[in-house]
């Protein structure tokens, strides 16, 4: 299928560039996190929290706008996302503390979630007969933005513009472009609305269990950030239970079991892709030095090209077959990255990992759009929201926490005296841990500083090896789904326009 009119072309590419803007914020943050760590004395876990808050608030805006977007319109969502992108740049470049950085990233994540709240249903509606192909093409904008934003950020550093504040302002380029392209366009009526599926029927697809998962993650993180409870996970579960019970009584549905299953797998998927992408530059620095930022640019370039070629691949393997193959490749790629001894081997391992992660996100959205069209924008966008919640609340922090705990145990075993001098107690959603204070490391003798650096470098590879377990679990999950659909006669999209929707 091709773009039908000039208006549709501008609409599609405007959505594409809006997604590029969200990627700019991600890669710029990934490339300057070391600068923030040095300037604000952040531990790896705190850096993981900064990565995380640049992701999980995405779920708040994408879910909320999905609930009301058919009423307020796609253009209102576009305007809100634009405002968030502009305000986040101002807050971030004026930051003087960890807390200000945190809120700057919070606001940009709200804007990013709003962007996906309208671009995914718009494209799924425009191309209702070939959703997986076109959602993959749309989401080529993400790696495309990573490549473009990454190259611009690295070049600025290479020519002597080292200030992270200038690099943050790069986000203004795609932000202004998508605003100018989309502000005067007409947006289509959602497929669910056009088919006459009621609002409550849309909510039934997600159901009480789905709402519980979403509300638990959001409430737990808010409780931690705001200091509402000494046990944010428990407090979040209590809030989520109340919300889920009330929601379930109203819609009279626990949610579609297949959809709930995909929601849980999405947490692993997002951590495998975005969690590792958040950290990969820092993780590769011990082996690649100044070339480390190019690894994320390189893997993103592979993803961009392959997503534009998704149609024939998905048609040949089926969406679930594609996801299963990708999970296996991603697991192998991460293990290979953790063991790669030289820059050349790192590039080879990164290639394997890049191919593996390429189709995860958009193909999952395609499966949801094809299997749950009655859920309209909500089922489609809640899936992405849970992914961002999973990696934002737990995934990115987990990678940092693995490093902190590995450093703590290794340093204690190798030199208890140095360990006692440089580690301090910290607390996160994952519990209490001990982290290295870089200010205290600077006060050590050269031999002590070298020991700490060696231990820190080794911890980075261990983090990659540990996280490879996630795509391995995903592979098993996708094989189960393939067996499930074979028992039903094969994978077939649900077509609302034909009146055969479940």
For every residue of 106-141, DSSP letters joined together read: HHHHHHHHHHHHHHHHHHHHHTTTSHHHHHHHHTTH
User: Which residue among 256, 278, 298 closes a domain?
Assistant: 256
Residues 258 and 461: beta-carbon distance below 8 Å: no
pLDDT at 429: 63
Alpha-carbon span 17 to 262, nearest angstrom: 28
Asked whether residue 418 is assigned to any structural domain, the reply reads no
Least confident of 161-175, 245-259, 392-406: 392-406
User: What size, in residues, is the chain?
Assistant: 502
pLDDT of residue 83: 96
Q: Which pLDDT does position 1 carry in this prediction?
A: 43
At residue 499, the pLDDT reads 52
Same domain assignment for residues 141 and 213: no
Say yes or no: 243 and 347 in one domain: no
Distance between start and end Cα atoms, the chain? 25
Q: HSE-up of 258 (CA within 13 Å, CB side)?
A: 19
Among residues 256, 272, 295, the one where a domain terminates is 256
18, pLDDT greater than 70 = yes
Give residue-wise pLDDT tens across range 49-64: 887 788 778 888 888 8
Do 139 and 178 reside in the same domain of the chain? Answer: yes
The yes-or-no verdict on residue 80 having pLDDT over 90 is yes
Residue 442 covered by a domain:
no
Ramachandran bin of 415, using left for φ above 0, alpha for ψ from -120 to 50, beta for the remaining angles: beta
Report the half-sphere exposure of 233 (CA within 13 A, side-chain side). 6
Distance CA 239, CA 247 (A): 12
pLDDT at 486: 93
Residues 245 and 379 in one domain: no
In a domain, 437, yes or no: no
Contacts of residue 287, Cβ cutoff 8 Å, sequence gap at least 6? 340, 341, 342, 343, 346
Same-domain status, 226 and 288: no
pLDDT digits (tens, 9 = 90+) for 360-391: 999 999 999 899 989 888 898 899 888 888 87
Q: How far apart, in Å, are the Cα atoms of 182 and each of 17, 61, 77?
A: 10, 19, 11
Which of 256, 277, 300 terminates a domain? The answer is 256
Q: Could you say which DSSP state residue 185 is in?
A: P
Same domain, 146 and 281: yes
Within a domain: residue 444? no
The CA distance from 212 to 242, in Å, is 9
Q: How far apart are alpha carbons 329 and 355 in whole angstroms?
A: 7
Instruction: Please check whether residue 31 lies inside any domain of the structure.
Output: yes
Q: What percent of the chain has pLDDT over 90?
A: 36
Query: Can you give 444-502 as a three-state secondary structure string?
Result: CCHHHHHHHHHHHHHHHHHHHHHHCHHHHHHHHHHHHHHHHHHHCCCCCCCCHHHCCCC
Same-domain pairing of 218 and 284: no
Give the structural domain span for 218: 199-256
Please tell me whether residues 129 and 177 are part of one structural domain. Answer: yes
Cα(55)–Cα(61) distance, integer angstroms: 11
Distance CA 133, CA 156 (A): 35
CATH code of the domain covering residue 269: 1.20.1250.20
Q: Are residues 93 and 167 in the same domain?
A: yes
**pTM (2 d.p.):** 0.80
83 is a domain residue: yes
391 found inside a domain: yes
Considering the domain architecture, whether residues 390 and 311 belong to the same structural domain is answered as yes
Give the number of domains in the chain. Answer: 2
| pLDDT, mean of residues 22-29 | 89
Q: What is the pLDDT of residues 313-347, one digit of tens each?
A: 888 889 999 999 999 999 999 999 888 777 788 88
270 φ, ψ to 5°?
-65, -40
- Residue 502 predicted with pLDDT over 80: no
In a domain, 500, yes or no: no
**Is residue 304 domain-shared with residue 244, that is, in the same domain?**
no
Q: Strand ranges (DSSP E) for 369-474?
A: 423-428, 431-436
* CB proximity list for 428: less than 8 A, separation 6 or greater: 45, 49, 224, 397, 401
Residues 209 and 314 in one domain: no
């Amino acid at each position: 299928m091709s773009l039908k009119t000039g208006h549709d072309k501008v609409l599609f590419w405007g959505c594409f560039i809006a997604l590029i803007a969200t990627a700019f914020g991600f890669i710029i943050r990934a490339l300057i996190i070391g600068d923030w760590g040095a300037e604000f004395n952040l531990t790896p876990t705190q850096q993981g929290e900064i990565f995380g808050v640049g992701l999980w608030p995405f779920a708040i805006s994408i879910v909320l706008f999905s609930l009301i977007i058919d009423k307020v319109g796609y253009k209102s969502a576009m305007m809100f996302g634009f405002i968030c992108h502009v305000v986040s740049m101002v807050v971030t470049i004026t930051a003087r503390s960890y807390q200000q950085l945190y809120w700057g990233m919070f606001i940009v994540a709200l804007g990013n979630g709003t962007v996906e709240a309208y671009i995914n249903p718009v494209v799924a509606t425009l191309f209702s007969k070939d959703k997986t192909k076109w959602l993959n093409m749309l989401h080529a904008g993400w790696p495309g933005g990573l490549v473009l934003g990454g190259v611009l950020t690295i070049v600025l550093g290479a020519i002597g513009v080292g200030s992270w504040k200038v690099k943050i302002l790069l986000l203004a380029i795609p932000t202004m472009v998508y605003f100018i392209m989309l502000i005067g366009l007409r947006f289509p009526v959602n497929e669910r609305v056009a088919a006459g599926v009621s609002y409550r029927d849309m909510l039934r697809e997600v159901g009480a269990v789905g709402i519980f998962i979403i509300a638990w993650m959001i409430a737990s993180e808010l409780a931690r950030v705001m200091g509402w409870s000494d046990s944010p996970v428990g407090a979040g579960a209590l809030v989520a239970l109340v919300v889920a019970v009330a929601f379930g009584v109203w819609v009279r549905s626990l949610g579609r079991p297949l959809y709930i299953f995909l929601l849980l797998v999405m947490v692993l998927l997002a951590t495998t892709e975005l969690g590792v992408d958040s950290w990969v530059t820092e993780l590769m620095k011990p082996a690649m030095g100044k070339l480390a930022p190019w690894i994320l640019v390189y893997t993103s370039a592979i993803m961009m090209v392959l997503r534009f070629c998704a149609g024939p691949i998905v048609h040949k393997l089926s969406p679930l077959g594609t996801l299963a193959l990708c999970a296996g490749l991603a697991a192998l790629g991460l293990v290979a990255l953790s063991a790669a001894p030289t820059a050349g081997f790192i590039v080879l391992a990164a290639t394997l990992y890049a191919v593996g992660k390429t189709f995860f996100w958009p193909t999952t959205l395609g499966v949801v759009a094809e299997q749950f069209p009655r859920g309209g924008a909500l089922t489609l966008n809640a899936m992405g929201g849970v992914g961002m919640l999973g990696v934002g609340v737990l995934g990115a922090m987990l990678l940092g926490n693995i490093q902190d705990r590995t450093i703590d145990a290794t340093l204690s075993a190798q030199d208890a005296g140095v360990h006692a001098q440089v580690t301090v107690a910290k607390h996160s959603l994952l519990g209490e841990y001990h982290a290295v204070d870089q200010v205290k490391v600077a006060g050590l003798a050269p031999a002590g500083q070298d020991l700490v650096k060696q231990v820190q470098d080794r911890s980075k590879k261990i983090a990659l090896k540990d996280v490879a377990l996630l795509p391995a679990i995903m592979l098993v999950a996708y094989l189960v789904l393939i067996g499930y659909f074979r028992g039903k006669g094969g994978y077939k999209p649900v077509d609302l326009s034909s009146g055969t929707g479940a």
